[in-house]
Structure 1
Amino acid sequence: MIDTLTMEVMRLEAYFRAGGVAMLPLALVSLAMWLLIVDRAIFFRRLYHKNMPLAIALAHIRDDRLPDPREYRGAVSLLVARFIQRRSHDRSLDQFILDETVLSINRSLGDHLAVIGVLAAIAPLLGLLGTVTGMIDTFDILSVFGTGNAKGMAGGISEALITTQTGLLVAIPGLYMKGFLDRRARNLQQRVARAGYHLRRQI
């Protein structure tokens, strides 16, 4: 198993070397993008599970009682907890506080999604940069050796193709996950907005 792992590491290292200078920024872009994707996916998953019914949410607000996180951890529970922590017990002012809390939560649901989209869009551009540098290397070899240095030409073409491939491999899943997370965020925003509207009429 150790030998297999060592071989895979060596293959990955050779792949990165063959891709040239564009591979390091591509790797960093991919790492940053997936860290943000995992962070958002875990955050949204937590808000989807153990959701609080509106009747219970209203009871918590009327009793001025924070939700038990072991029992409720969904989006409505988060809204109730933040509102109770900030409420003034003046009905008119509390309605404004509830509206602002809804807006604040909905803004936070969109955090990092634009950055994920930008990183996914940057990846194929970095791949294109690697393509250009690889072709420049190929033409440099052609200008010096003509067509007599097939190995040098193959290295430049390989760099061009590997960086293009890597850029697409980073971008395509990133754009898919961006769309998926956007849909999750919109669904949660609608849920929070509906809960806020219902609770505003009752407090």
Structure 2
Amino acid sequence: MLGLNAAWDGLQQFLEMGGPVLVVILFATFVLWALILERLLYYGLAHRGNVQRAIREWDNRSDHKSWYAHAVRDKLISEVKLKTNQNVEFIKTMVALAPLLGLLGTVTGMVTVFDAMAISGSSDARAMSAGVSRATIPTMAGMVVALSGLFFVYRFESSAKKETAKLADKLDIRTS
């Protein structure tokens, strides 16, 4: 329990050091990772079932040569492709949004520094250093969030292409 309290206190200190934009970045991080976990669960639990359902539906057809059969085949492939690509664009948006939120934190932090300088009437480097530190923490946090999500964006996009192509090949084999 002591470790949990220390972690909570550390998180609160970090959020205070980075300012209010850091809370928004934290929320965006939770959304991003919830979407990433959803995609991982999809590939781990549901994807094979969707592919097998499409193959079964194709195999149950007596006609594989007509124009209508090819339209059904394309529909089955499109349905699986749609399910494999679900939420990937939203993940990409969250990855792109994270550094922008970090930049917003930097700008708001620097405005705070300049306001403090204007009020105090001095350009004391020590007084400014805390504000500059507060301004750069959101940038770092936004970049870390974006970098952590980039790997998964690439993985999900390549998996979707590969799995869709594999299904198309399986359904092609069954046409002959």
Cα distance in 2 for partners of 1:133, 1:41 equals: 35
Q: What are the superposed Cα offsets for residues 103-148 of structure 1, whole Å, 9 maximum, x if unpaired? A: 2211221111111111001000000000001111111111111135
Cα distance in 1 for partners of 2:72, 2:99 equals: 44
Cα distance in 1 for partners of 2:168, 2:15 equals: 47
User: Could you say which structure has the higher helix fraction?
Assistant: 2
Matched to 2:10, the amino acid is: R
3-state SS of the aligned residue for 2:123?
coil
TM-score (norm 1): 0.75
Shift of 1:154: 3.5
User: Where do 5+ consecutive residues of structure 2 fail to align?
Assistant: none
TM-score (norm 2): 0.86
Question: Residue 153 of structure 2 corresponds to which residue in structure 1?
Answer: 178
User: Where do 5+ consecutive residues of structure 1 fail to align?
Assistant: 49-72
Q: What are the superposed Cα offsets for residues 170-200 of structure 1, whole Å, 9 maximum, x if unpaired? A: 000111210111111111011111112122x
Question: Residue 16 of structure 2 corresponds to which residue in structure 1?
Answer: 17
Question: Residue 123 of structure 1 corresponds to which residue in structure 2?
Answer: 98
Question: Residue 39 of structure 1 corresponds to which residue in structure 2?
Answer: 38
Question: Residue 6 of structure 2 corresponds to which residue in structure 1?
Answer: 7
Shift of 1:74: 5.5
Instruction: Give the superposed CA RMSD.
Output: 2.3
Query: Contact (CA 8 Å) 2:55, 2:171: kept in 1 or not?
Result: no
Question: Residue 51 of structure 1 corresponds to which residue in structure 2?
Answer: none
Is 1:197 aligned to residue 139 of structure 2?
Answer: no
Question: Residue 75 of structure 2 corresponds to which residue in structure 1?
Answer: 100
**What is the aligned-residue identity percentage?**
25
Go from structure 1 to structure 2 and tell me whether the alpha carbon gap of 1:94 and 1:133 turns closer, same or farther (over 3 Å shift): same
Rg larger for: 1
Instruction: Between the two structures, name the one with larger relative contact order (CA 8 Å, sep ≥ 6).
Output: 2
Q: How many residues get paired?
A: 173
Query: Contact (CA 8 Å) 1:134, 1:160: kept in 2 or not?
Result: yes
Query: Contact (CA 8 Å) 1:76, 1:191: kept in 2 or not?
Result: no
Cα distance in 2 for partners of 1:143, 1:20 equals: 20
Question: Residue 156 of structure 1 corresponds to which residue in structure 2?
Answer: 131
